[in-house]
Structure 1
C-alpha cells in the first residue's frame, strides 16, 4: 500500500443465502481511497451501496476478499481488534442520526471517547468542541429527542468526528431530510472536509453531492465502474 493510500479493497464479494438461492450483492470489486479524498458511491436503490460501506468500515465481514487500512487487513482481525478499529479509525454517519434520545447531545457525542477509555472530562471537552464545530454549542445540554432532524444529523456528524477518524463514512446522510436542511448539512460537511483535511466516502443518490467529490464510483450489478477524478 502506497503512503498516500489509506484504504484498499481487493476482490470484495458479499453474498446472502435466500430461499431462491444465493444473492450476490457485491461481486469481486476493488477500490482504493487516498488521504484527503472525498469519494462518492452512486447507483440505483438496492445496488449494494450501504453493504459496501459496511464492509469497508468493518461493520460487516465480506464473503470473500479483503479490506486493508495502512497495511492491516480487517479480515484477519479478531472481534475485539475489529471493535477497536471501528472506534479508533472510522467515523460513520447514517441516513438516520441514531442518537440515544434519553441522552443529551453532549452525552451522545462524547460516548465513543468514553468507550475508548478517555476521561469523562476530556470526552466532555472534545464533545463540546465538535458540537461547536457543527453549530450546536447552545444545544449541548438538550436531549437528543428535543433536537430537530437537521440538528440530530449535525450531532451525529460531531459524534462521528470526535474520535479523529482516518476515514469518515456517510450512508445517505441527507436522505431523510428536507431539501433546505439537506443543503445546510451538505455545506457543513464540505466545510469540515476542507478545514480538517478529512478523508471520506459517501453512498448517495444525490448527484449534486457526488459532483462535488474528488472521486465518483458507480455501483451496478455488484461491480464498480472505473472511478473518475473531478476536474
Structure 2
C-alpha cells in the first residue's frame, strides 16, 4: 500500500488535511465529489487505500477487461470516489470498472441488524433450506422411491438452489424480503418448481427417445408460446449481461 500512496503523492493528488492525507476531486460535468481519506490522522489506511492497492495488483498482474464490484447500494458514493481516483491515477485506460449496487436482505418487519442480534448467517440459511427441502421430499411421492443418500443429494440441490434462485430472481438494486414460503413455493417463479419442471421435461424426452411416433404431433398454443419464448433466449442472455441483471433470465 505504501507504493500506492507514494504514487498518489507523485501524481500531486495527495493533500494534507487536519493531520490526515486526502484526495480532493475536481468538479466535473457530472457534479463534484467530497474528499476521500487515503491515510487517517493516526497513520492508519482506509478501505480506499486497500482497494486501490488491490486494483493496482489486479490490473498489473491479471490485466482484466472489466472489474465488477457487487456491493450494496449504500456504498455508491464510495465507489464513485474509488473509480474517480483510479481515473486520476491513469489506471482506467485498459480496464472498465463497474459497481453493481444491490439492495438489502430484510426480514418482513425490517432490515437485519447486527447490533440487535437480528442477523442470519449464510450457513444457517443453507442448512435451513436443506432441512426444508428434505421435509418436502419426505412428503412427496417421488421421495418414497429414494434411499437416504439420494434424498440427501436431492435435498441439497433443491435447498441450495432455492436460496440462490430467490436471490438472483430479484432486480439487483431492490431490497429483498426474506420469506421461506416464497423461496419454497412449489409453483410459478421459484427454483423448486423449475427444478421439478426440468426433471419432468427430461423424463418426457427420455421416453420420447424410446418411441418413434409415426404421426405428426400437433402443438397446443401454450407449447407454441414456450417455443417462441425460447427463440429469444440468446438475446435475453446478452441483455442480462449488459445490464448485470441475472433476474432477466
Structure with the bigger percentage of helix: 2
TM-score under structure 2 normalisation?
0.26
Higher-RCO chain (CA-CA 8 Å, sequence separation at least 6):
1
TM-score under structure 1 normalisation?
0.27
**Structure with bigger gyration radius:** 2
